[in-house]
Each structure stands twice: as C-alpha cells, then as structure tokens.
Chains A and B, each alone.
Chain A
Amino acid sequence: MSDPLLASRALAAFYGDFQALFGIDAELHAGERIAIIGANGAGKSTFLASLAGAIGAKTGEIVFDGARIDGRDAPDIARLGIALVPEGRRLFPSLTVEENLRMGTFAGRRGPWTLARVYELFPALHEKRRAPAPALSGGQQQMAAIGRALMANPRVLMCDEISLGLAPSIVRAIYAALPAISAEGVSVIVVEQDVELARSSTDRVYCFTHGRVSLSARSAAVTRDDISHAYFGV
C-alpha cells in the first residue's frame, strides 16, 4: 500500500492538565473517505482540531504528504490543503452567505471548487447568497460551512459532526454530496454519531474510546457487534 496522505503517529493532545488523546495512530489515504465514531468525549473533535493545528499542546507526529506538520500553525495547515468544517458550523455572523464562502479562499489554493461549483452542489445557498449567514436554516448553514471549506480547494476535508441537530432528510441530502466531493479527488474524514450513516458513506471507520482507538476496520466488513464491543468494551 502507498504512503498515506495524512497520518498521525502516537498523537496525544492536552487541554491544560487534561489529556484528551492518548497515542492515536490513524491514517487517511488519497481519495479515501474515513469515519471516526465514538461516544461523546471520546476525543473525536479534539483529533480533528489537532490535525488542523487548532490545538497547540500535543505530542507525537502528524505527517501530511510526507512532511511533518504537527508544529505548524492553523493558517499554514489550511494553506497546505487541510480544511476543517468545525463542529457547530461556526459561520461568520456579520458576513453574507457568499462572503462566508469566499472566506475559504484565504487558503490561497487553486482548484476545481469555485462559487459556481459550490452553488451547483448546494443550490439552496445560491438563493440565499446575499443573506446574512444567521438567516440560513440549520441545514443550509451546514451546507455553507462545507462549501466554505471546499472553497479552500483542500486535499483533505474534515467534517465534524455535520449531522448534529439536523433533520434526517437534510442529513441525507448533505451526505449525498460526499461522492461529488470525492470525485474531485478530495479525501474526507467525517466525525459522525450516526454509526449506520458513518459505515455506509465511508471506506474505513475508526472508533475512539476515552481518547484511544478502540477499533479500526473496513466499513464494509465491520459488524454491529464489533462496534458495540468497541463502544462499550463488552
């Protein structure tokens, strides 16, 4: 197997004295989609934030495209092509929808994703492009947050809990966009509470428990029993 595009080795992360991750080894290959599942507080969001450079207190290695990036600052990592759709969307409230999307271009990367392509993927955003971001519905806000990340033309798109608080039909509509995103060569990491959704929409799945990887398997091969064992240790 070729070298992974993005990998963590013995990654640990801290909030002050509190340790949130304990030696995470995980990898993402080019073109792959992986899911990270696990209970609340298992360290899934911390893992994505560490990869994005948003958490400074960490040990271990993060390797992207053959180079160490664990010492790099968040804006530099964004410019290298790792984009995070943060938990809770985090749109900029005083910007319009279109301005929020254009914020993605501060990564300074060229590629297939333009305003027109994002509007093609999420037509609802085109109608609301001049509205302030808080005027969007929850699902539309999530689409805007994903669109904003895509405008960075990332090589790796990381989505943190994109289904949280959204109606199932909206969640399906958002997940339906994943194949189109992969088709442009973007590798994807999703953090997802819905285990079935995570399994059906990805190639591989990691389960985190108390800041450790308790399961790593091919999504197609993993069984419910494997997952409940990994979640609950029974």
Chain B
Amino acid sequence: MSWLDTVVQGILLGGLFALFAMGLAVIYGVMRLINIAHGDFVVLGAYLILSVALTLHLSPFAAAAIVVVLFAALGYALQRAILDRALGGDLLAPLVVTYGLSVIIENALQQGYSADSRSLQIGGIETASVHLGPIAVGVVPLIVFGVALAVAAGLELLFNRTRLGMAFRATSDDRATARLMGVRDFRLYGYAAAISLAVTALASVFMGVKYTFTPTLGPSFLLYAFEAIVIGGMGSFWGTFAGAVILGVAQTIGFALDPGWGILTGHLVFLAVLIARPQGLFPKVVA
C-alpha cells in the first residue's frame, strides 16, 4: 500500500468523521450545549434506517431520507421537551441530561435490536471503486466525502447568509440581548437541534454502510466528533471539516503502520493539537 493511497483513504474517512462532527458542532455553536448522546443518535439513526428499509422494502438511502425528516422532528421535540429545561443554569445540567439520554438510547437499542452486529446493505456499490490516477478509491467513500462537503458548505451558507443563521450567531453571542430583539430563543434552539439531528441521520446511513454496528458504538463516534471539532477549532464548519480530515488521515496512517495503532494515532494527534494549539488549527477570529 502506497503512502499516497493511505493519505487519500484517510481524507475520505475524514468525510465520515466530518458528518459525525458537524451535527455536534451545530448544537454546541448555537446553544453552547455539549450533546453527550450525539454518537448514540448516530447509532439510533442507523437502526431506524435499517427498520424503515426492511419494513417498507426500501434501499437504505431512500430509508435515510425518511429518517432525516424523522430525526429533524425528533431534534425539535427533544430540545423543546427536555433540553430547554437543562439550559441557562450551570454547565453540568445539560451534560448530565444528555449523558442520561445516551444511556437510555444504548439500552433501548440493546433491548429492541439485541447486541448482534448489523449493517446496511446497498447492493454491491459497497465494493465498487474507481481509479484516480495510480490509486483506486471506493465509490461509497467518495459519495460520503461529497455529501460531507455539501453539508459543510450548506451549513456555512445557512449560518452566514440567511436570516435564521444571523439569529443563530447573535443568540450564540448574547442570548439575553437577542431576546430583547424579539428572538424567540427556545424556538430557535429547536431549529438548531432539528438541523443537528438531520445531519446526524446522514452520518447514520454512511456509518451503517461502512461499519457493522452494535448498540454500544455511540461513545466512540462521539469521541471522533469531539476530536474533529477540537482539532479544527470552534467557530466554522470548514474548520470542523478540516479537523475531521486530519483525524481521518492520522487514523489511516496509524492503521498502515500497525493495525493496532490506528485509533490511537488519531487520539495522539488530537492530544498534540490540544497541547500545542488549544484553540484549534482554524479558530474563528473575532476582531
């Protein structure tokens, strides 16, 4: 395996990590809320896609379109019913509440789907590849990377070019003053949670195609998402995307050196960034 090949595979893996990370980044960016259950929502989404696909005899991608809508509604409802109550006080309350959600989702999935590993079958495309010069890359990783790029661009546009995005940024800056302007903060938070979970459902389908999954995988996805955000630096979705790509490349190079080192190498790169540049590599500069 050539190093060029390894790096390209890592970049493509970064696309999946970026999808994990951007959903988390939306909620953190708007509400300053760290959703400990984020990785479990990735897994929950994959099981829901599996069920919808089997029940309605759809392909996983068609089922994912349904689950994206379901997850957006779930995000809004979750924010309004539960997370709103945890916000505004100290930082611990939202951590405890979302940790509780994480435990509930994991155990409910074990109960409902058992601990057997599952995967999403997409009928052959999994193994298809195309030649890019000297290397062969999988069609699915290319699709994932393209979708992740589109999501990052879409979120950047939403946050920087739309009225809703302006309200997100203002409320993130200063919630009390945004309320004085007439911004209904809780409704706005509901929209942010809806966007976050819609992006998460996209991550779910690609995760399910790439990996075999079990109900307990959530926390590791949460960790990758966190690492991508911290490496990239808070503040922009392109930064998060870049952080995810760096994490992906680090893991793939680690795997190439020794199959036992892959994930560890990702953590080491994360720690190195945290020590050398705690604000991240591409933090948003506020003048």
Choose among B169, B177, B287 the residue that contacts A90 (Cβ–Cβ < 8 A): B177
Determine, out of B64-72, B179-187, B255-263, the stretch whose residues face the partner at the interface.
B179-187
Question: Across the interface, do A95 and B181 meet the contact criterion of CB distance under 8 Å?
Answer: no
Residues of A within 8 A of B179 (CB): 54, 73-75, 78
Closest B residue to A100 by beta carbon equals B170
Q: How far is the CA of A78 from the CA of B287 in the complex (A)?
A: 29
Name, among B182, B184, B185, the residue most crowded by chain A CB atoms within 10 Å (CB to CB): B182
Knowing A93-B286, A103-B166, the reply to whether A54 touches B180 (Cβ < 8 A) is yes
- If over half of B's interface residues share one DSSP class (helix, strand or loop), that class is named, otherwise mixed; here it is helix
- A106→B181 contact, CB < 8 A: yes
Give the number of A-B contacts (CB < 8 Å): 71
Q: Are A94 and B182 in contact (CB under 8 A)?
A: no
8 Å CB contact of B184 from A75, A93, A152: A75
- B167 interfacial by beta-carbon distance below 8 Å: yes
Q: Across the interface, which residues of B come within 8 angstroms of A54, CB to CB?
A: 176, 179-180
Q: Does B90 contact A (CB under 8 A)?
A: no
CB under 8 Å from chain B, chain A span 85-130: 86, 90, 92-95, 99, 102-104, 106-108
Range, interface on chain B: 20 to 34
B159 → A minimal CB distance (Å):
10
B287 touching A103 by the CB < 8 A rule? Answer: no
Contact assessment for B286 and A94 in the assembled complex, using a CB-CB cutoff below 8 Å:
yes
Given the known inter-chain contacts A90-B174, A92-B173, A99-B166, please indicate yes or no for A104 contacting B286, CB distance below 8 A. Answer: no
Please give, as numbers and ranges, the residues of chain B lying within 8 Å of A12 by CB-CB distance: none
A-B contact pairs, 13 of them (CB 8 A): A54-B176, A54-B180, A74-B180, A75-B184, A75-B185, A92-B177, A94-B170, A94-B284, A94-B286, A95-B170, A108-B182, A132-B286, A134-B287
Interface residues of B (CB under 8 A from A): 163, 166-167, 169-170, 172-174, 176-185, 284, 286-287
